Structure 1
Amino acid sequence: MEFGVFATMAEALDAANKAQKDLVNNYSLEQRDQMISNVRKEFEKINDELSNFEFEETKFGRVEDKIDKNLGGILNTPGTEVIKTRAFATDKGLTIEYSAPYGVVGAVTPSTNPSLTVIGNGISNLAAGNSVVFNAHPFAEKSSSIAVKTFNKAVVDAGGPNNLVTMSANPSLATLQEILESPYVKLLVGTGGPAMVKTLMASGKKVIAAGAGNPPTIVDETADVERAANELYLSTGYDNTLMCTTEKEIFVSNQVLDRFTNAFVESGARLLSEEEANKVRDLIFVELESGEKVVNKDYIGRDASKILSDAGVDVEGDPRVAIFITDKDDLFVQKEQLLPIIPIVPTPNFESAMEWAIEAENNNNHSASIWSKDVYRVTEFGRRINTSIYVQNGGTSAAFGVDGTGKDSPTIATPTGEGITDASTFTRRRLFAMANGGNYIL
């Protein structure tokens, strides 16, 4: 039995189409719940092994954080409970609004979160009544294959149809094009930069896209400074800053700058001198022929100690994060960089902090946070930053239920506006109207 991984994309598409029709025609919501429960159980069994394998394949992040992150997706991705039906009734009749499946969903997985994307999008779409055809990132093809096979075997063992998630064994741009052009595929989901979003949009199909983010955080003089420093150390260093929601630059009031920096170092960070920061900057940013400077991909998701060592900076132990003091125009502030080198920008007043943070966020409408006890400042920054995720006095992961109330999801759809996705995101609205007073009994 193939369990979702096929030699060709054409086979993967055909299998997903047949599986989706089988799911919606022959299985109840209660049976979908049983399948999802078994998917969670089977992935929890292999989570340590899969997370270690993913790390060995991609070299991104930290194994212990990857295990934790994938477990969050396994246990906390919502299922059928978020699929809602609404009723509207007047003396003219009763109308029911259903959340219906799209059918086959085409999905692009990133190299930074391959297993989590298969798990999270797989659970969400199974709950919604869809199947998913993944175009896995070639750098994470093996991890994605294991996740796809595990998902399908768990569904089959629970009595469900095989091939609700599928992929080609040899993913490429050509296999992506097959997904985009397939008449089976009604909805596209992707995680990546502007080029990926543009490619999906050009298909003419509905797109749910998770784009780039450069999340800023503000620490003002009313904040619990030591707590902010400690939690930001843990948050920014989590999985080597790979998550698009992770804070990438910190704007700190001049009044508490020294306290904040000292507390950050006491938490375990390595503070860089100006000379050391220059060395790191020269290593991380490379210049294209066009003159634009971009992040050196060789250091995405790598340990801070590796980056510092390669830059010629002395480092002891294994700090999760390196920090340095700079100004708002630094490349580390203005460019999204998925690595644990975090710039701290001193701010003369709160208005400047807001303006500079908004500039650094670059209209991605992704994520931001603030550490402050001033409700008016919190409100004003939230209104002006206009991000899909906004957190007060906590890491941005609070939106996913980490020291906050939220839900887990691998897809944060900011360019297309859906925000943190769940099963309901992958449904379409259908109305059944009973006219002329039908079924209205009052």
Structure 2
Amino acid sequence: METLDKDLRSIQEVRNLIKNAKEAQAKLAVMSQEQIDAIAKAIADAGYEHREKLAKMAYEETGFGRWQDKIVKNAFASKHVYESIKDMKTVGVLKEDKANKIMEVAVPVGVVAGLIPSTNPTSTVIYKALISLKAGNSIVFSPHPNALNSILETVNIINEAAKQAGCPDGAIASMTVPTIQGTDQLMKHKDVDLILATGGTPMVKAAYSSGTPAIGVGPGNGPAFIEKSANIPLAVKHILESKTFDNGTICASEQSVVVETCSKDAVVAEFKKQGGYFLPTEEAAQLGKFIMRANGSMNPQIVGKSVEHIAKLANLQIPEGTRVLLAEETRVGHNVPYSREKLAPILAFYTEDSWEAACERCIEILNGEGAGHTMVIHSDNEEIVRQFALKKPVSRLLVNTPGTLGGIGATTALAPALTLGCGAVGGGSTSDNISPLNLMNIRRVAYGVKELEDLAEQAPQIEEAVIKLADKEQLINMIVKRILSEL
């Protein structure tokens, strides 16, 4: 008997899963809001119930992060996300404006392809399934091979719970033979309506290049600016909590710290007090060789690892109790590893003469990598916060909060999400924290409120107004010329 090779098995499996998902979605599309809500609640409850088991599985399989923090992420992806969307209307008529005779109707996008990374595997599955089903869509997952077992177990748990709540079979499914060819088939298949991509830059680019509508996220590389008016001990506490949460595997985590010269000593002292270790020049160079690979991509050996593991890898001697490694830096660029995204407890440290110079430095860092994603400012000066808001090329400017938990909406009022849009500046299709609202279309029913004759009657009035405006401009020009001629 002839045996198909792995690539062909993967492709055929994807085709079968999509067929089943399309049939299941047709059933979801005619369900009531109450039926959809029951399915969403079942997914959330199952994810929350098994949060510890799945967290330990993900840690043991990938070696990334801390299983204790992954429990928190699973709880966030299930309970926190559910609480934010449970009352959201996603079926039938959403809004009706009787005065203007406009009605808005929810329309599911259809079959969603969910690409899952190895850094946050179980929490991302729970989150994506929850928001997809809440919007009336089915979802087929493409798991990262390095987290296959924990992803499949998560899919199995939430799928069984959803089916008991009335979800059609096939609405939540995953590839079990993940290959590049199989994932390519998933993204390009004619019956897949939207790709929800979370992962490395090559995967996200492939999603946007597939010809299928996609929502993807670019790399994070958010700086944290500690402005001189900030509560420095609290700012440092937030940064260290954020950067050590799951060993920095969430892309909204801070990647560099920027301070003003006048407050540098106080900030450095506070970091040292709370467990930050500033690498001497020689040690910083030694560690720098391990941050990026020769091809310019992040070294997977440091991703989600503890400071002890990283120090051992780079042959460094660090003080007991060190929580984060910091390296003073003055440069930004593709070949400057500390200025790049580091999904590990490592921070670059920049010093600038003023907040204006710090503002420009943050822009330079973001334009180097991470544009459109997230940055943090710690400040009690509202005018400076406003200036940062007007200028920074990010979709989320977080104020006085940890980057990791603030960006995903855990410590802020942003929509709770584990997929954070980067907008056009970051090469993405949206700047939102992705929710069910991003996974459905809106059909607008519009009644006629004017006739052609009404438009024709308005035309002379508009023309007359334009002529009067032109006359005023001519008069102003004449006055200006007269004044200038007399000077």
User: Structure 2 length normalisation: TM-score?
Assistant: 0.83
Relative to 1, partners in 2 of residues 1:183 and 1:35: Cα closer, same or farther, differing over 3 Å? same
Q: Counterpart of 1:234?
A: 241
Amino acid at match of 2:434: T
Q: For 2:187 and 2:71, how far apart are their aligned partners in 1?
A: 32
User: How far apart are the structure 2 equivalents of 1:163 and 1:68?
Assistant: 28
Query: CA offsets per residue over residues 370-414 of structure 1, 9 Å max, x none?
Result: 011111111111111131111111112224443332332111121
Instruction: From 289, 304, 307, give the equivalent of 1:304.
Output: 307
> In 2, are the aligned partners of 1:283 and 1:296 still within 8 Å (CA)?
yes
Q: Distance in 2 between matches of 1:52 and 1:110?
A: 16
Deviates more, 1:255-264 or 1:312-321: 312-321
Counterparts of residues 38-437 of structure 1 (less than 5 Å): 38-77=42-81, 78-83=84-89, 85-90=94-99, 94-288=101-295, 293-317=296-320, 319-329=322-332, 331-362=336-367, 364-396=371-403, 397-414=405-422, 415-434=428-447
- Per the TM alignment, residue 7 of structure 1 is displaced from its structure 2 partner at its CA by 8.1
1:333 Cα deviation from its structure 2 partner:
4.0
Deviations 1:24-54 (A, max 9, x none): 22x2111211122222222222111100100
How far is the alpha carbon of 1:152 from its aligned partner?
Answer: 0.8
The CA distance in 2 between the partners of 1:320 and 1:132, in whole Å, is 39
Secondary structure in 2 matching 1:373: coil
1:319-356 Cα shifts (integer Å, max 9, x gaps): 33112222233724431121111111111111110111
CA distance in 2, matches of 1:127, 1:60: 30
Q: Residues of 1 paired with 2:250 and 2:24: CA distance?
A: 32
Asked whether the equivalents of residues 375 and 394 of structure 2 are also in contact (C-alpha less than 8 Å), the reply is yes
Indicate conservation of the 8 Å contact 2:47/2:74, yes or no.
Answer: no
Give distance in 2, aligned partners of 1:38 and 1:194: 33
Question: Is the Cα–Cα contact under 8 Å of residues 286 and 296 in structure 1 kept in the other structure?
Answer: yes
Which amino acid is 2:374 matched to? S
| In 2: Cα distance, 1:436 partner to 1:232 partner | 55
TM-score normalised per structure 1: 0.91
1:60 touches 1:301 (CA, 8 Å); kept in 2? yes
Checking the alignment, whether the CA contact within 8 Å between 2:110 and 2:136 is kept in structure 1 is yes
1:189·1:208 contact (CA, 8 Å) conserved in 2? yes
Measure the CA separation in 2 of the matches of 1:106 and 1:62.
28
Which amino acid in structure 2 is aligned with residue 423 of structure 1? P
Residue number in structure 1 paired with 2:32: 28
Q: 2:98 aligns to what SS in structure 1?
A: strand
Q: What is the SS of the residue equivalent to 1:421?
A: coil
Aligned to 1:440: none
What are structure 2's unaligned runs of at least 5 residues?
1-9, 423-427, 451-487
Moved more, 28-37 or 422-431: 28-37
Q: 2:67 & 2:186 partners in 1: Cα distance?
A: 32
Given that 1:29 and 1:80 are in contact with CA atoms closer than 8 Å, whether structure 2 keeps it comes out as: no
The gaps in structure 1 that reach 5 residues or longer are 438-442
Q: Which one is further off, 408-417 or 82-91?
A: 82-91
| Alpha carbons 1:327, 1:345 under 8 Å: kept | yes
Give, in angstroms, the shift of residue 203 of structure 1. Answer: 2.1
Whether contact under 8 Å (2:417, 2:435) holds in the other structure is: yes
CA gap of 1:285–1:95, structure 2 versus 1, over 3 A, is closer
Q: Aligned residue for 2:480?
A: none
Listed as ranges, the matches of 1:9-24 within 5 Å are 9-24=14-29
Alignment coverage as a number of residue pairs? 426
Describe the SS at the equivalent of 1:189. Answer: strand
Task: Report if the CA contact (8 A) 2:375-2:396 is conserved.
Answer: yes
- If each structure's strand is expressed as a fraction of its own residues, which one has the higher value? 1
Cα offsets for 1:53-92 (capped at 9, x unmatched): 001111111111111112111112143533461223347x
Q: Which has the larger radius of gyration?
A: 2
